[in-house]
Structure 1
Amino acid sequence: MTEQRTLVLVKPDGVKGQHIGDIITRIEHKGYQITALKVIQATKEQLEAHYEDKVNAPFFPELVSYMQEGPLVGVIVTGTNVVSIIHRMAGATNPSQADWGTVRGDFGREWPDGNLRNVIHTSDSPSEAEREISIWFPEESR
């Protein structure tokens, strides 16, 4: 078992829906530590770096538009095996398929414009977490 860091981004729909406190409370109730937190207005450069594997996808412009609809809240969470636990806590990517009790299952939904707005981003591996932290929290890079 190893101490890890992971990135959580409360996306614009999560911020607008006033779920920041709910999400942080869930993290803290699991006993994990919030080691950094800030409000971020995402730049196109940050989004291109974060979603480097999706930059050439046909939906990328809509993804950028969504992620720039409003502020994000970035959170670094630290704890034993935290990456996989927080990723599971988020739930399935599509909110309509996410289990109740997960962040996306409880707070996410589909919208008439067809864009996937799913409240939260969580890192899916320890190496990806460190890469993503370096984008959103360069001052916390290792």
Structure 2
Amino acid sequence: MYNMEITLALLKPHIVRNTYAVHQLKAQMESNFNILAAKDLRVTKELSECFYVEHKDKFFYYRLTSFMQSGFCSAFILQSESCIQKWRQLMGPTKVFKAVYTDPNCIRALYGLSDTRNACHGSDSTVSALREIGIIFPEFDISSVNNQSKVINKCVHIKKA
């Protein structure tokens, strides 16, 4: 038996404005993963602050949370064997300049503009995936997927746009 995982994939606002890029990235997702859920959403100030809470004391926090509020994002729950690692490999390095030189065909090298506007987000662990899915997809029943544990969501009072 293989180990199926789920992860959150998020296309950032500058990508969602580019319909060609969205089409290409959705096709890439469909060929590599089962898409369990998808939606477009407008990220509010409260949602972005909750989502990026671990970066609150970092110099880029305000720039990142403001950028995420600048337009619509597309969110996906992906599932496959080794899903987290697989999606992170497709995204490439977080820093766009590094992505361009080390993995020129990855998503961030092709569509990223800067470290904040790096095209996409992917959970970095199972714990992060469960937390982030709970924030972006509060209506999604994770317990129905491969016996995943319950999400502990500290942001239950956030209203989704």
Counterparts of 2:109 and 2:121, CA distance in 1: 14
The offset of 1:107, in angstroms, is 1.4
Q: Which residue of 1 aligns with 2:29?
A: 27
Q: Which residue of 2 aligns with 1:56?
A: 57
Whether 1:119 aligns to 2:89 is no
The offset of 1:106, in angstroms, is 1.3
The offset of 1:77, in angstroms, is 0.6
The number of equivalent residue pairs is 137
Q: Which residue of 1 aligns with 2:136?
A: 136
Counterparts of 1:100 and 1:24, CA distance in 2: 19
The offset of 1:141, in angstroms, is 4.4
Structure 1, unpaired ranges of 5+: none
Counterparts of 1:64 and 1:116, CA distance in 2: 9
Structure with larger Rg:
2
TM-score, normalised by the number of residues in structure 2: 0.79
Whether 1:8 aligns to 2:2 is no
Which stretch shifts more, 58-67 or 75-84?
58-67
What SS does the corresponding residue of 2:43 show, helix, strand or coil?
coil
Q: Give the AA of the match of 1:57.
A: K
Counterparts of 1:90 and 1:24, CA distance in 2: 13
Q: Which residue of 1 aligns with 2:147?
A: none
Structure 2, unpaired ranges of 5+: 143-161
Runs of 4+ in 1 over 3 A off after TM superposition: none
Counterparts of 2:60 and 2:40, CA distance in 1: 25
Q: Give the AA of the match of 2:105.
A: G
> What pairs up with 1:34-49 in 2 under 5 angstroms?
34-49=35-50
State percent identity of aligned pairs: 31
Partners of 2:11 and 2:75 within 8 A in 1: yes
The offset of 1:55, in angstroms, is 1.6
TM-score, normalised by the number of residues in structure 1: 0.89
Counterparts of 1:26 and 1:116, CA distance in 2: 22
